[in-house]
Structure formats: structure tokens, C-alpha cells
Amino acid sequence: MKKASGLGGVACAAWVLVGLAALGCSSTGTGNKVGQLLGRALAPENGQAVPLVNETVVLLTYDDEGNIVMAEVGTTDENGEFQVDVEAQAVVALVVNGMTDEGMAEISGLYNPEEGVVIDKVLDPATSIACVAGLSAIGDGSITDEQLDDERVGNLEDAADGYILANPDFDFYDADDRAAAVEAVRASTDDGANPAP
């Protein structure tokens, strides 16, 4: 796979793609399904983590030209849980959008699907910040999708979790707060190359 080309253009799924310019979007499927992604989408609401119930799950992958391809691949259940089959590849993102009392929540996470492997992950604000950080790094050419491996994803997620804990006034529903978090996570980990400080 090649790195994502350019930035600017059409927003495909959610704020996951905000700030990533020129991303190509498509509704093409993933073909042969060989790996399984499990998870639960939780959004902040009045100081609690609430499940995004009966919401569409969107899969973001890269095509051979390095463009992001988007496909609806399922829905969450009454507990916010989902199960998605995908092709083995370097990196994919899952996005779940839903409404809470505080506004539209767009929860996402990065996965590195492998053939025959089941990966289980809770998606929340920290995984969402890490997801945007990772896709942004690919989008601006700082790293390739192949470089965004499990270790980098883990470093980004740890840094995002630490950032949220260290900033009690962080508002996940505020675009400026999210952008600041993404920037801080990228800088503190060198786009996931280093562990969270």
C-alpha cells in the first residue's frame, strides 16, 4: 500500500477526516474477508461513558493509490458492540457516529488486521484522538500506512489517554480541543514512533 496522497476536499465519515485534506472517498467493499474486528463504541455524556447504540459502523481502508476508501460494514448493538470482518492489511480505521446529550459523537479507532486474527478493542475518545493522529500522519506524508503498526497505534492511544487525563477541561465535543489533542499526541510520540511520555 502507498501513503495517502494530499489533503483537502470531501469529508467522508466524521471528524476523523477533518483536517485530512484531499482524501479520496468511495463505497467500495473490502473483498475477501479474512480477519475480524470486535469492539464497543463508547462516547462521553455528562461525565459518563455511554454506548453508541444501533449506529452505523464505517470502515476506512487505503486503496492501491493511497486514497481512503469508505464502506458501511455493520451496526452497533444495544450495548454499542460491533463485529466486522475485513481483509488483512497494514491499517484500517473504524468510525461510529451517534448522538448524545452533548452533541454528535464520532468515535473511532485504528486496527492492524491480520489473517485469521480476532482483535477486540473498546473505542472511546482516546482511541478517536489516536485515530485522527495516525491518519493525519499518513495523510501529510510523515509516515506510511505500513509504518502505523500495532506499536505505533499503542503509543498514540497511550499518549491520547494521558493527554485527556492531564487536561481535565478537555471537551471531546469541541473541535479546537480535539485538534490540540491530536497535535500534542503526534508531537509527544513523534507520530507514534516513541512511547507516550
CATH number of the domain at 44, please: 2.60.40.10
What element of type H or E holds 104? Answer: strand 103-111
d(CA 6, CA 124): 28
- Averaged over successive runs of 10 residues, the pLDDT of the chain (197 residues) comes to 28 41 37 81 95 97 89 96 93 95 95 92 98 96 95 98 97 97 98 94
What element of type H or E holds 113? Answer: none
Q: Which domain holds residue 90?
A: 35-189
pTM: 0.85
pLDDT of residue 32: 62
**Is 22 a domain residue?**
no
**Is 132 a domain residue?**
yes
**Is 9 a domain residue?**
no
pLDDT of residue 33: 61
**Is 130 a domain residue?**
yes
A 10 A CB-CB count for 160 gives 27
DSSP H helices, the chain, are 125-139, 150-166, 175-189
Structural domains of the chain, count: 1
d(CA 144, CA 4): 8
**Is 6 a domain residue?**
no
**Is 4 a domain residue?**
no
